[in-house]
Amino acid sequence: MSEGFAEPKESWATGQFRPAGGLTKGMRLVQDFNEQFLARLADCSGTGKATLTLLGQAPFERLKDNQTALHRAAQSPYLLADFAFTDLERWTAWTQSRPTPRLLQLSGGSLPPPIALGLAREALTTAWVCCEPGPGHAALFFGMTPEIAANIRRLRLVDIERIAHAHAAHLRPRWETQPALWNRLLRSALDGSESQMHALRVHGLQLLAGERHLRLARDGQRAGASIEVGPPREIVTKVSGVSRLTTPRPDSPREPHAVVSSQARSIHPLPPGA
């Protein structure tokens, strides 16, 4: 196993997942951002300050007076926000100061501009720091492809500020169109169900792996190249604690990464009570 990816010191069953080695700093930054992001969503919920459809579909407002649940929900080992982190065309345009591709259809409006700007700046700074060790960290925490991670790592502070100001509206809740998943996440955090939190965290890793696999495959086809797809083997195995994520069946000729993505595409939605 690569240096810096040691065995987790604690199980997710404790509710305090703290990996050893090189993942610790990045994981802490990601979880700190998640807590800030969820707190802002909770503050906006039920106030009319934001028109994100998701805010009316999951119990964000109940997090306002429950810091323990807020902290528990934030402990996912990946960013709970997305900033077009799998869109290579968009990030190439943003980092090169070119006119951006056709704007995303931002469903249900956006967060208030001051809040969106602050969160966009924090998300970019977190991504910039987490991309430094290599593409493995970027894949785990953000679902990024190596090319996008390289683009973000080359950013200067002035670039981070420019992109945050120009494109803050693109910062969205991850899996925004899957309110059932968010409902399970928040209700499990509010109920203190560590078994369900564990299942949801692993489920999220699988979703990220599948999304990244598809994006890499599309980018490779567009470039006419044959590229390896899938998340770093050691990271997904060790962080999730589920060896089956990267272990192919003995009779299967497929590469392990393909098994990850195949499972990731087929596991949503989770069965009731998972």
Q: Are 221 and 167 a contacting pair, CB within 8 Å?
A: no
The answer to whether residue 234 scores a pLDDT higher than 90 is: no
> The tokens of 102 are what?
């056709």
pLDDT tens digits along 42-51: 999 888 887 7
User: Average pLDDT of 102-118?
Assistant: 67
Least confident of 93-97, 238-242, 245-249: 245-249
Shortest CA distance to 109 belongs to which of 169, 177, 60, 166? 169
Lookup result for tokens 């998972």: 274
Element (H, E) at 173: strand 172-173
Q: Are 132 and 126 a contacting pair, CB within 8 Å?
A: no
Q: How confident is the model at residue 265 (pLDDT cuts 50, 70, 90)?
A: very low
Lookup result for tokens 């969205």: 172
Torsion of CA 47, 33, 84, 96, to 10 degrees: 120
User: Average pLDDT of 222-227?
Assistant: 52
Q: Which residues contact 197 (CB under 8 A, 6 or more apart)?
A: 12, 15, 72, 75, 185, 188, 189
Distance of alpha carbon 116 from alpha carbon 164, whole angstroms: 9
User: Average pLDDT of 104-115?
Assistant: 64
pLDDT-above-90 percentage for the chain? 46
Residue scoring higher pLDDT (48 or 251): 48
pLDDT-above-70 percentage for the chain? 67
User: Average pLDDT of 193-216?
Assistant: 89
Distance of alpha carbon 134 from alpha carbon 31, whole angstroms: 19
Q: Which residues contact 1 (CB under 8 A, 6 or more apart)?
A: 234, 238
Distance of alpha carbon 113 from alpha carbon 50, whole angstroms: 10
pLDDT tens digits along 169-181: 999 999 999 999 9
Q: Is 42 exposed, middle or buried (0-12, 13-18, 19+ CB in 10 A)?
A: buried
Question: For residue 61, how many other CB atoms are within 10 A of its CB?
Answer: 17
- The alpha carbon of 154 is separated from its chain's Cα centroid by a whole number of angstroms, namely 21
Q: Are 270 and 199 a contacting pair, CB within 8 Å?
A: yes
Write down the pLDDT at residue 171: 93
This prediction's pTM: 0.74
Residue 58 dihedral angles phi and psi, to the nearest 5° = -140, 150
Write down the pLDDT at residue 20: 41
pLDDT tens digits along 70-86: 999 999 999 999 999 98
Write down the pLDDT at residue 213: 81
Residue scoring higher pLDDT (211 or 244): 211
Q: How confident is the model at residue 8 (pLDDT cuts 50, 70, 90)?
A: very low
Write down the pLDDT at residue 41: 95
Residue 254 dihedral angles phi and psi, to the nearest 5° = -75, 150
